[in-house]
Structure 1
Amino acid sequence: MLLYSILFPIISILAILWFFYRYLKQKQSLATVILWTVLWLFVILFSIFPAASERFARLFGITRGLDFIIIVVFLVLFYIIFRLYNRIDILQDEINKIVKEVAINNEITLDDEEDE
């Protein structure tokens, strides 16, 4: 048995446990935990049974199992980048609103400066 077929399942199980721990501490949503659990289960499956990737590849019309894994990894990475971009955009809008409110609440008028 190759080293990766022992090491990857151990890392995957630890990652799944970590996501469940973060979910129990209410730091992750259930959807995120499910998504990552499914992905880590595929890592376990493909590391123990490498031929399974070829079967999945054929289902999608891809010739080699490794090509299928690489395509899936890219899709997951693009999805994560898309989600991060959207989250950053929302945070930037919220920061702009807060800064505007603080600026309006702390507005200094000319009358205030003359009184001093």
Structure 2
Amino acid sequence: MSLQSEMAEAVHQRLAHGAVSVAALVREVRERWGPEHSVGSVHLFVEEMLYCLLREADVDVACAAAGGLVPWKLPADEAWEKISERLRRLHEFLEDDEWCCLRKKLLG
């Protein structure tokens, strides 16, 4: 199992307890890897891990707004492309916890 898959599995389990922001995942990878890793390498790792997570039928993407989460209402492939595009354009580490969060899909 790849490191991305292992982390995706751990994050998937955490989603049972609440949403996780992509920025928080970036911080976690940076903390594990140390300061010598570049923005590009960290973002690419997170991007690949998100690809694994978004293949799960019960994972949804949302942004934080007014004390709640607003779903993006995009298919998994489109959500992943949107996240990937932003991560690849950034020259600094993603720090915006509100822009993109992963959560368990709401039923109904």
The TM-score normalised by the length of structure 1 is 0.29
Greater helix percent: which structure? 1
Greater strand percent: which structure? 2
Q: Which has the larger Rg? A: 1
Q: Relative CO higher for 1 or 2, CA cutoff 8 Å, sep ≥ 6? A: 2
The TM-score normalised by the length of structure 2 is 0.31
